[in-house]
């Protein structure tokens, strides 16, 4: 064991200067490290899995439908690009033969009567296109990282709070001991 490790582990060894609060602090630090690592991994993994399942459920419930643009899409730009999307009114027919009309994002350059693809949910209402598998994976990983980081921050913050309470108590004990020590010598240090 190196000298540095010996200094770091002094709270775990028998020592005449070691107080009960030092042992409690050592346990708080150890438990905080274990909870931060385990809690961060568990929170990140569960969050990423839940986000992935939610996105897969949305993808399974939505489907593309062929629709027709009923009127020229209104756009604010003087010369819209072909990739710009604007709101337009579309009409589509469900498999049961019912016709529906709604507003969806369509290409800005599409003329009235142009075929467009829109997405509908399980109830037949217009919805946004589902995220691609790559986007879903990215969002799930990012959400898992945020959740893991939040869990670690919560544990570390709690440990810091507990350690500050121990420090406050320890400083009070030191003040009391210095006052007793000074009274034996017949003077005050402050």
Helix axes 20-61, 133-185, angle to 10 degrees: 170
What's the predicted TM-score (pTM) here? 0.69
Roughly how many angstroms between the first and final C-alpha of the chain, as a whole number? 41
Q: pLDDT for 61-93, tens place per residue?
A: 999 999 999 887 766 555 556 568 888 899 998
Q: Domain extents for the chain?
A: 21-57+134-185, 63-129
Q: Cα–Cα distance between 80 and 6 in angstroms, integer?
A: 70
Place of tokens 């010369």: 79
Q: pLDDT for 124-177, tens place per residue?
A: 888 888 899 999 999 999 999 999 999 999 999 999 999 999 989 888 888 888
Going along the chain, which residue ranges are E strands? 63-69, 85-93, 99-107, 115-120, 126-127
């Amino acid at each position: 064991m190196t000298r540095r490790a010996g200094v770091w582990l002094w709270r775990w060894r028998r020592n005449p200067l070691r107080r009960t609060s030092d042992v409690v602090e050592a346990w708080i630090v150890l438990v905080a490290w274990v909870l931060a690592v385990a809690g961060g991994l568990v929170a990140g993994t569960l969050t990423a899995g839940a986000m992935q399942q939610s996105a897969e459920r949305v993808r399974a419930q939505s489907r593309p439908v062929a629709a027709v643009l009923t009127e020229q899409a209104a756009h604010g730009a003087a010369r819209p690009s072909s990739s710009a999307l604007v709101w337009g009114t579309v009409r589509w027919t469900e498999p049961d033969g019912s016709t529906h009309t709604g507003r969806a994002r369509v290409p800005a350059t599409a003329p009235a009567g142009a075929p467009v693809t829109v997405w509908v949910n399980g109830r037949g209402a217009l919805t946004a296109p589902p995220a691609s598998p790559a986007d879903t994976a990215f969002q799930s990983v990012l959400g898992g990282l945020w959740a893991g980081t939040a869990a670690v921050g919560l544990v570390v913050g709690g440990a810091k709070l507990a350690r500050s309470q121990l420090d406050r108590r320890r400083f009070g004990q030191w003040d009391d001991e210095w006052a007793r020590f000074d009274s034996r010598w017949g003077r005050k240090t402050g």
